[in-house]
Amino acid sequence: MSELTFEQMLEGSLKTIHAGEVVEGTVIDVKPEELILNIGYKSDGILTKNEYTNDSSVDLTSVAKVGDTMEVKVLKVNDGEGQVVLTYKRLAADRGNKRIEEAFNNKEVLTATVAQVLEGGLSVVVDEVRIFIPASLVSDSYEKDLTKYEGTEIEFVISEYNPKRRRYIGDRKQLLVAKKAELQKELFEKIKEGDVVEGTVKNVTDFGAFIDLGGVDGLLHISEMSWGRVEHPKKVFKVGDTLNVLIKEINGSKVALSLKFDDANPWKDASTKYAIGNVVTGKVARMTDFGAFVELESGVDALLHVSQISKEHVEKPADVLKVGDEVTAKVVDFNEADKKISLSIKAMFAPEPSEEKEDADADVVSVDIDAVIAAEEDTEE
């Protein structure tokens, strides 16, 4: 028997490998773009960054060190230069596919960091498997800008699994909807009409503001924002504001809110402050052809009819008054039930003898203030 050469003996002690085989290797050299592994074969294995991960930002020196062991798959036994080409990400993807399949079948909630914000949604990676979350399934409400999710960790479920087409669809929306439903149930079990609760302004519209009460959105209508007049909700609130609100009404899943607390009701002692005959001072808030509305305090307006502005004849209130003017007048009519007050500057002056009989026969001017305000608002619109 002929003696074997050293090279033949060395080669005989090394294992044989073939493409597609999974082998274990030991890292013997680390570079930012590639790893060199001893896989027990006559040639070392080369693992490039592109075959390590789909994340192009990864520096291999930060994820591996000499002496580390890892399982890899053989792509090519000989790349033309005698080197073995290895892949880690494809092996991980194979295992990842099984992981995703199990998560899909079990409706498991997965957690991953958003790797990329795309035009139509988000891309996340789970065990080297890319999963797409369409914009419509990112949130339970429409979001035009998804960039805020980049780099953040989110939870989702797999709603579609198709490995043949490499189509993996994630759904975050259904988790949010389910969580919101749970929070709604818990909240409705705790709250009742008349409660004062804390909320956060979620959205502001022309007619009011939607307040997040912790799983339930309540509507704070513009008419319930203050005892006084509110020109526009956006002049009072902004998204993110925190405030304590009164639960005025609960109707099914709808909650009506108010900031008109009884202890701040300006009408609670109005019968004393604005009794007939009292002299009061206020500022002209609005003008009409038939009179001026005078704000006596926030939430309390009184009508100064054109016929009561002066002893002299006044054609239009705007001829002698303007918005912001301070006026002092006498209360000549007070209707607490309808929250109406009528003023008169004319009554501040003692009548001439010839006027006494005429004034005695004259009716006190009374105008439906609510109807006037409604008419004004219709005109503005």
pLDDT tens digits for range 286-316: 999 999 999 998 889 999 999 999 988 999 9
Burial of 299 (0-12, 13-18, 19+ CB in 10 A): middle
The answer to whether 97 and 164 are in contact (CB under 8 A) is: no
Whether the pLDDT of residue 376 is over 90: the answer is no
Q: What is the pLDDT of residue 380?
A: 47
End-to-end CA separation in angstroms for the chain:
110
SS3 category, 25: strand
At 71, list the tokens: 């399982």
Report in angstroms the alpha-carbon separations of 351 from 88, 152, 278, 328: 103, 78, 17, 18
The answer to whether 26 and 65 are in contact (CB under 8 A) is: no
Structural domains of the chain, with CATH = 15-87 (2.40.50.140), 106-175 (2.40.50.140), 192-263 (2.40.50.140), 270-375 (2.40.50.140)
In this structure, which amino acid lies at residue 206?
D
Average pLDDT over residues 32-59: 90
If pLDDT is split at 50, 70 and 90, which confidence band does 78 have? confident
If pLDDT is split at 50, 70 and 90, which confidence band does 364 have? very low
Q: What is the pLDDT of residue 361?
A: 45
Mean pLDDT of the chain: 86
Region for residue 151 given its phi and psi (left: phi exceeds 0; alpha: psi -120 to 50; beta: otherwise)? left
Whether the pLDDT of residue 221 is over 50: the answer is yes
